[in-house]
Amino acid sequence: MLRRDLLKAIPASLFLTGFPNLGITKNLKDGRLVVINLEGGMDGICAVPPLGDKSLRSARRDLLINENLQLNPFFGLHPSLKNFGTMLSTDEATIVHATAFPYTKRSHFEGQNIVETGVLTPFSSKTGWLGRAMELAGVGGRSLSLDTPLLVRGNSEVEAYYPSDLRGSEFPDSDVLDALKSMYEGDALETAEVLQRQINLSLDAPRLRDPEGLAIFAGKKMQELHGPKVAVIRVPEFDTHANQGTEDGLHSEQLRVVDNVYGALKSGLGPMWASTIVLTVTEFGRTIAQNGSAGTDHGFGSACLIAGGLISQAGVVSDWPGLKPSQLHEGRDLNATIDMRSVCAACLEVAFGLEHNEIVEKVFSDTKVKRIYNEIFS
Amino acid sequence: MKSFPKIEKVFFIICTSIAIASFVATKTFANVRCIQSFLSETVFDPGPVDGAWGKKTATALKDYASYHQLTLKTEIDRKNAAALCTELKAFQLPLKAPLVRRFDINIVLKDLEEFTGRKHLDLSNINVMTMLNQNRCWFWISRQQIETKWIEELARGEFSVETGRIKFGKNWWNTGGLADSSYLQEQAALVFSDDFLLNGSIPYFHLFVSPGEIAERPLQIDFEKTQEDNTWPKHINKLIWQRVYRFDVDHWQTGILDLRCRAN
């Protein structure tokens, strides 16, 4: 089995929510918001390399990628992000660089919790920032998933359901099959081989479980008049401690998945793309220097990729902190000069028409979160 | 003894020259140091702050100006160090404050084509059939399974030809899912060159998708001087011409593009 086929089978998940509560929904903007949660810590320096920073080359000798798209004299774009690059060229995407949620302790569990809750102390909130914002915008409702992710949980009850007519479950799962093969011999093994052949044949069949397939489904559902307004797509496996690779490495494969999600969302949303904003979140970036296993460890600042028809001008929004050792966070990580909550607030503002003051007070409970709406969207 | 005044004069000239040279050198040294010290506060590394002008200092200065989209009035050169230092000092203040700003993106079309691997239709090397204009045309897109030879119709619709270029009009896909007429209308780029050779690309939905299944995005099919398929049976009358093109899709199906136009 090829690596890309294996990656297709990596469990991704989709949560559609924010179905309008008819009669209750406030008369706010009818935008759509999709959050792509990059679990494991996406390497912003790899996705959007600061090619103009001279310290990059010495820190990443084995991980440098040569085929980046030159965005401007300073920044480049990773070769896996082909759809995203096209969107940048047509002013449908933008990048925020050197950004992170205010969390510096490098734990996945705590970091993921902060990404979802949007508060400063891990495990101190039972609701997510997106859920609270949906309540504020009056777009609470049902969650199209087996369980409701913390990110979209608000204070009021969210009904969860999963449509049973989704097809695709007739194809056997390769992990289960491997487990069965290791347990049985003889006739049972032959049956397993038949199933293996069926998996191979099903590679051309319509897909359901991979992030790209889920993104098309999400887009088509969100296009409907009374469809969901919010979707959360998880893309796991960004934690590349070893063999991060260059053009063909593991991190590049994962960025390709993210890029396909962007392309698929645009295709699925159709005309609704014009009223949509899609952003990536991740718990932290990765260290500037590569480690002894040609990978990178948990860091701090990363990059946020934003796309959608609500963007009017492409750009790289940043207060670039620099990569010289004296400019790094604790001498090892990219500093985050932009609070990721400011980016989320700007996206909530553009999608739902909420006021910045209202967002920082009621969603993030921190009035110090700055407004960078103009830098991103105008 | 007569030569003494001359020696004195020469000595005086030498001393003055050395003094002037060291004064100028010290001044330049200080100005280069000023530039280096300024740049060392930024992300652009000028090397050691030693007053010696080198490639690193010049590159850092050039990158700094380019990053902040500043137009320096003075040419970046050692002899202009004093003026450059003065110019930089004028920019020093905003640097100290936090600076969230948007850096513009300038993607060169050629770079983008190379990056995405998808080329825009380049007509420079194609002898386009500019005399070809047809306004009543129909097309069919089918797939043929390689093993069974079964042919299934995927799409049909209208098109016109304007100075050799095909423009798709209303069209219908039988494949379900995402397929709709806008893909061919907006993304297809096809042109006839000499002797009805087909050049360009079209989006192609290669699978039938039932309701409830996840839809597939179209493949992009490239035609490069593709010749018509002469094995295709033709039962068309004199008023209508037909051209049929086969194209590779994957290991189990080939595609068929059938074009018919009413002769003018």
3-state secondary structure B11-38: HHHHHHHHHHHHHHHHHHHHHHHHHHHH
Q: Is B195 left (phi over 0), alpha (psi -120 to 50) or beta?
A: left
Q: For residue B210, what pLDDT is reported?
A: 76
Q: Answer yes or no: do B60 and A206 touch at CB < 8 A.
A: no
Choose the most confident range, by mean pLDDT, from A163-167, A175-179, A348-352, B61-65: A348-352
A172 within domain boundaries: no
Closest in A52, A79, A376 to B63, CB measured: A52
Mean pLDDT of chain A: 81
Q: Is residue B138 located within the same domain as residue B229?
A: yes
pLDDT tier, B15 (very low <50, low <70, confident <90, very high otherwise)? low
Residue of chain A whose alpha carbon sits nearest to that of B218: A267
pLDDT, greater one: B91 or A242: A242
pLDDT at residue number A195: 66
pLDDT at residue B96, as a whole number: 42
Residue A107 lies in a domain: yes
Distance (Å, whole) CA A275 – CA A269: 9
- Give the Cα-Cα-Cα angle B187, B189, B190 (nearest 5 degrees): 145
Residue A268, chain B, CB below 8 Å: the answer is yes
pLDDT above 60 for A206: no
- Residue B29: pLDDT band (50, 70, 90) is confident
SS3 assignment for B70-126: CCCCCCCCHHHHHHHHHHHHHHHHHHHCCCCEEECCCCCHHHHHHHHCCCCCCCCCC
Pairing of strands A142-144, A159-161: parallel
**Residue A242: is its pLDDT beyond 80?**
yes
Query: Cα separation of B86 and B72, whole Å?
Result: 11
Nearest-angstrom CA–CA distance, B82 and B32? 8
Average pLDDT score, chain B: 83
- Average pLDDT on B194-204 reads 91
Give the burial class of B72: count Cβ atoms within 10 A of its Cβ; 0-12 exposed, 13-18 middle, 19 or more buried: middle
User: Which residues, 6+ apart, have CB-to-CB distance to A353 below 8 Å?
Assistant: A28, A29, A31, A137
Amino acid at residue number A97? H
| Tally of CB atoms within 10 A around A331 | 10
Is residue B215 a part of any domain in this protein? yes
pLDDT band, very low/low/confident/very high, at A193 (cuts 50, 70, 90): confident
The pLDDT of residue A122 is 87
A170 secondary structure, DSSP code: T
CA B139 → CA A225, B165, B167, B190, distances in Å?
33, 14, 11, 13
Q: What is the crossing angle of helices A129-137 and A340-352, to 10°?
A: 30
Interchain pair B102, A375: CB under 8 A: yes
Q: Which of B99, B112, B214 sits opposite A213 (nearest CB)?
A: B214
ipTM: 0.71
Please indicate, yes or no, if residue B108 is contained in any of the structural domains. Answer: no
Mean pLDDT of A35-52: 92
Contact status of A73 with chain B (Cβ, < 8 Å): yes
**How would residue A142 be classed by pLDDT, with cut points 50, 70 and 90?**
low
Say whether both B140 and B92 belong to one domain.
Answer: no
Residue B141 has pLDDT above 90, yes or no: yes
Show residues of chain B in contact with A346, CB under 8 Å. Answer: none
**DSSP codes, A110-129:** HHHHHHHH-SSSTT--SS-H
The DSSP output letter for A105 is: S
Closest CA to A273 of A92, A83, A27: A92
Residue A165: the pLDDT is 43
Q: How many CB atoms lie within 10 A of CB A196?
A: 16
Structural domain contains residue A47: yes
Residues B208, B175: contact at Cβ < 8 Å? yes
Query: A85-123, pLDDT tens digit by residue?
Result: 999 999 999 999 999 999 888 889 899 999 999 988 888
**pLDDT (mean) for B189-204:** 92
CA angle, residues B164, B169, B173, in degrees to nearest 5: 120
Region of poorest pLDDT, from A240-244, A328-332, B139-143 = A240-244
**Chain A residue nearest residue B40, CA to CA:** A324
The answer as to whether B220 is a domain residue is yes
| Closest chain B CA to residue A52 | B63
Contact B210 A337 (CB under 8 A): no
pLDDT of residue A301: 93
Residue that terminates a domain, selected from B49, B75, B96: B96
Please name the residues in contact with A93: beta carbons below 8 A apart, sequence gap of 6 or more. A84, A87, A262, A305, A306, A307, A308, A311, A314
Which tokens go with B53?
Answer: 């002008």
Measured CA to CA, the distance from residue A350 to residue A359 in angstroms comes to 12
CB-facing half-sphere around the CA of B223: CA atoms within 13 A: 27
Q: Tell me which residue of B90, B263, B100 sits closest to A319, measured CA to CA.
A: B100
- Kindly state whether residue A175 falls inside one of the protein's structural domains: no
Dist. CA A293–CA A239, nearest whole Å: 13
* pLDDT average, residue stretch B51-77: 82
**What type of residue sits at position A35?**
V
Structure confidence at residue A293 as a pLDDT band (50, 70, 90):
confident
Other CB atoms within 10 Å distance of the CB of residue B6: 9
Q: Are B103 and A75 in contact (CB under 8 A)?
A: yes
B86 with B201, same domain: the answer is: no
Among B34, B69, B96, give the residue marking a domain's end.
Answer: B96
List the domain range (segments joined by +) for residue B57.
4-96
Percentage of chain B exceeding pLDDT 70:
87
Residue A228's pLDDT is 84
Number of domains composing chain B? 2
In which domain, by residue range, is A270 found?
A: 11-165+224-377
User: Could you tell me where the DSSP H helices lie in chain A?
Assistant: 3-8, 44-47, 55-59, 82-89, 108-117, 129-137, 174-183, 187-201, 211-223, 250-269, 340-352, 356-362, 373-377
Across the interface, of A70, A88, A206, the residue whose CB is closest to B209 is A206
Residue B178 sits at the chain A interface (C-beta within 8 Å): yes
The answer to whether A319 contacts B44, with C-beta atoms less than 8 Å apart, is: no
In A337-349, which positions are buried (b, 16+ CB within 10 angstroms) versus exposed (e)?
Answer: bbbbbbbbbbbbb
**Same structural domain, B86 and B200:** no
What CATH code is carried by the domain that includes residue A231? 3.40.720
pLDDT of residue A284: 93
Contacts of B42 in chain A (CB under 8 A): 322
Asked if residue B125 belongs to a domain, the reply is: no
In a domain, B188, yes or no: yes
Is B147's Cβ below 8 Å from some Cβ in A? no
Sort out which chain B residues have CB atoms less than 8 A from A264's CB and list them: 217
pLDDT band, residue B157 (cuts 50/70/90): very high
Extract the tokens encoding A104: 């510096």
Q: What is the mean pLDDT of residues A122-129?
A: 87
Higher-confidence residue: B42 or B181? B181
Average pLDDT over residues B166-185: 87
- Domain membership of residue A219 (yes or no) is no
Does residue A33 fall inside a structural domain? yes
Write out A184-252 in H/E/C secondary structure. CCCHHHHHHHHHHHHHHHHHHCCCCCCHHHHHHHHHHHHHCCCCCCEEEEEECCCCCCCCCCCCCCHHH
Number of other residues whose CB lies within 10 A of the CB of residue B12: 10
- In this prediction, residue A48 has a pLDDT band, given cuts at 50, 70 and 90, of very high
Q: Has residue B111 been placed in a domain? A: no
Q: A194 lies in a domain?
A: no
Q: CB-hemisphere CA count at 13 Å for B72?
A: 24
Q: Do B115 and A69 touch (CB under 8 A)?
A: yes
Buried b / exposed e along A122-158 (16+ C-beta atoms within 10 A): beebebbbbbbbbbbbbbbbbbbbeebbbbbbbeeeb
Kindly report the pTM of this predicted structure.
0.69
Residue A350 has pLDDT above 90, yes or no: yes
- What whole-number distance in Å separates Cα of residue B194 and Cα of residue B125? 12
Which of B39, B71, B96 represents a domain boundary (last residue)?
B96
**B84 within domain boundaries:** yes
Residue B241 placed within a domain: yes
- Domains in chain A: how many in total? 1
In a domain, A181, yes or no: no
To the nearest 10 degrees (0 to 180), the angle between helices A250-269 and A82-89 is 50
B263 Cβ neighbours under 8 A, 6+ residues apart: B238, B239, B240, B241
Strand order, beta sheet including B253-262: B219-226, B197-204, B189-193, B165-173, B151-162, B134-145, B253-262, B240-248
Of residues A239 and B97, more confidence is placed in A239
